[in-house]
Amino acid sequence: MKSLRVLLSISALIAATSAGAVAQAQDDAWQKQKAERFKPFTAAQTDPIDAAVPKVATAKPKQQRRALVFYRCEGFIHGSIPYANYALQKMGEQTGAFKVDLADTYDVFNRENLEKYDCIILNNTTGMTFPEASQQIAFLDFINGGKGLMGIHAASDNFGRHPECRAIVGGEFGGHPWNAGGNWAFKLDDPDHILNAAFEGKGFWHTDEIYQYKNETYVGPKVLRLLVSLDMGQEEVSKMIKDGPREVPVSWLRKAGDGRVFYTNFGHREDTFQNPVILRHMLDGIQYAIGDLEADATPTAEIPKVDPALSPAKS
């Protein structure tokens, strides 16, 4: 019996060691890919971001705010990640709305460390898989307990292994019929909503890759307050799918427990982070998630129908 116990504890030790070794190998692989992909910036890259970043916060911060920007990828690695990291840092510095800490290792997700932060920003993370159950719990408790989450683009191509986290974001990537080279039409579902202020009440065209979501994962307008969607009234948009026009949301906000979530699908392309309108939209979403900008998160299905602001004819 004693020898059986020894055997069991040895096998548990081997299992733990090999799990640790797997996690270490994953970390090494990510660090190598990151070094290959993300080269130091030149002025040609940073100058247009500097010019586009908002200079003034939309809401006055109630206190010094701190955002944890996480950009780890287990799947596709977006070239726009360093652009977004730079833009978020610059945005925080220039507006005073928040300070940024960048992170790409899962050990930041523990209760003690997260207490320092008001908001987690998922910058194009793909396939996030918490090595420890406690890290997923810390992430969920952070948001449900009253803090904020902001997701950029691939933050929805992210939690296939963690359905509860996926549901908090709002949906999971189900392809991108609207590819990165296309110029697409967008409507404001809620033209007067404060988190749409950047668009000044008008639909618009923008060049970026846009996702649709797997039906079974998309939590929908009973949970989300929809802000921006593809404008299916434009044939250039609707012809990209075979099953006819349907709602494809792009930006939304929601409550999650006592916390606040803002997500936008913009941000595949590097030059999206050189666009002052989109950056203002992102800043407002972050200030909502942080808790400084009051915004109505009543789900779209629970409010009286609002006339959308459709996109103009393509110029």
Instruction: Tell me which stretch binds Zn ion (CB under 5 A): 2-10, 23-31, 205-213, 254-262.
Output: 205-213
**Piece of 10-18, 44-52, 194-202, 208-216 that binds Zn ion (CB under 5 A):** 208-216
Task: Tell me the closest approach of the beta carbon of residue 173 to Zn ion, in angstroms.
Answer: 9
Residues 6 or more apart whose Cβ sits within 8 Å of residue 299: 221, 222, 223, 224, 225, 254
Given the complex with Zn ion, which of 265 and 311 has the nearer CB atom? 265
Using rule CB under 5 A, residue 65 touches Zn ion: no
The residue from 162, 254, 260, 268 that contacts Zn ion (CB under 5 A) is: 268
Q: Which stretch binds Zn ion (CB under 5 A): 4-12, 51-59, 161-169, 264-272?
A: 264-272
Stretch that binds Zn ion, among 47-55, 104-112, 228-236, 266-274 (CB under 5 A): 266-274
Is 158:270 a contact under the CB 8 Å cutoff?
A: no
Binding test (CB under 5 A) with Zn ion, winner from 209, 231, 284, 292: 209
Q: For the beta carbon of residue 25, count every other beta carbon within 10 angstroms.
A: 10
**Shorter beta-carbon distance to Zn ion: residue 162 or 268:** 268
Output 137 or 241, the one with its CB closest to Zn ion. 241
Q: To the nearest whole angstrom, how small is the minimum distance from the Cβ of residue 279 to Zn ion?
A: 18
**Is there binding between residue 162 and Zn ion (CB under 5 A)?**
no
Report whether 239 contacts 282 (CB < 8 A): no
Question: Phi then psi for 14, rounded to 5 degrees?
Answer: -65, -45
Q: Does 172 bind Zn ion (CB under 5 A)?
A: no
Sheet of 183-188, strands arranged across: 99-103, 66-70, 119-123, 148-152, 259-264, 249-256, 225-230, 183-188, 204-207
Q: Using the minimum distance from each CB to Zn ion, give the nearer residue, 209 or 284.
A: 209
Phi, psi of 33, rounded to the nearest 5 degrees: -65, -40
Contacts of 164 (CB under 8 A, 6+ apart): 136, 140
Chain residues binding Zn ion by CB under 5 A are: 209, 268
